[in-house]
Structure 1
Amino acid sequence: MILEELKKRITLAMKERRDVEKEVLRVALGEIQTAGARAGRDISDDDAAQVVRKLVKSIEETRALTVDEATKATLALELTTLQSLLPKGLSVDEIVEKLSASRDAIRAAPSDGQATGVAVKALKGLGLTVPGSDVSQAVKLLRA
């Protein structure tokens, strides 16, 4: 699904002459195809999303170190474009809601780190993949 969406959006960006968007989408497509070639198989949407997340993280790091305002604006556009490809994740409040069944085990853990481990295990049991920073925020809310 991500690959098809990328290809459609590249074509649209080319037609509308949005060069920054076109180029960042091409980079993402190339990275995803390279990851698939390395694995020797077609890449799944989860793997493609992981590649896009890696690119997002890289752009965020570059943007934090950039001082030129024009470059920052370009990086912001690239960031927005790539983030729009990613599936929407759960909010911290939604994570807290999903962890309600494990609330006692999370509170019983001796430290926030161990409580986060319990929470991640519970979320994986539900088939959810959630960023660790969001899980740790949810754990802090549950332990408060």
Structure 2
Amino acid sequence: MPDRTDHQRPKITKELTIGELSERSGVAASALRFYERQGLIYSRRTSGNQRRYHRTTLRRVAFIRAAQSVGMPLDCVGHVLAMLPPDAELTRDFWVGVSEHWQKEVNERIAKMERMRDRFTECIGCGCLSFEQCTLVNPDDVLAEQGPGPRRLLNP
């Protein structure tokens, strides 16, 4: 078996085109452009106005997708990413810090989902699904005094 020479090794570049980033991350180029508009990822522009992403952007995109998959809103993701320089590598220590930072948010989301599960069951029994008109869940629409929206689902 012949030895591999330097010219046969795949070239590892510091920067990726949007197509390369899309292919490597599995995220559509349109989503990458959206993430960039939201300030979640960054690129530099070449003299031909083409985007070039630092290699560390691969981990940022993976982090964004992982956070989205568990229901974290992009504004929460952006908040923690904004604490880092644009080309900073995301490390295990970063993830531990984010996990601690998001613990309260995650617990609040869980509590809200449990309230929705428990209180929707009460209403489905009658079939009307109207919190304004339901005499069992909201007699005389007393919850309207607390403001718009699904008050029983939003408040503990």
Per chain length, whose mean CA-contact separation is higher, i.e. which structure has more relative contact order (CA < 8 Å, sep 6+)?
1
> Which structure has greater strand proportion?
2
Q: TM-score range by the shorter chain?
A: under 0.3
> Which structure has greater helix proportion?
1
TM-score of the superposed pair, with normalisation by structure 1: 0.27
TM-score of the superposed pair, with normalisation by structure 2: 0.25
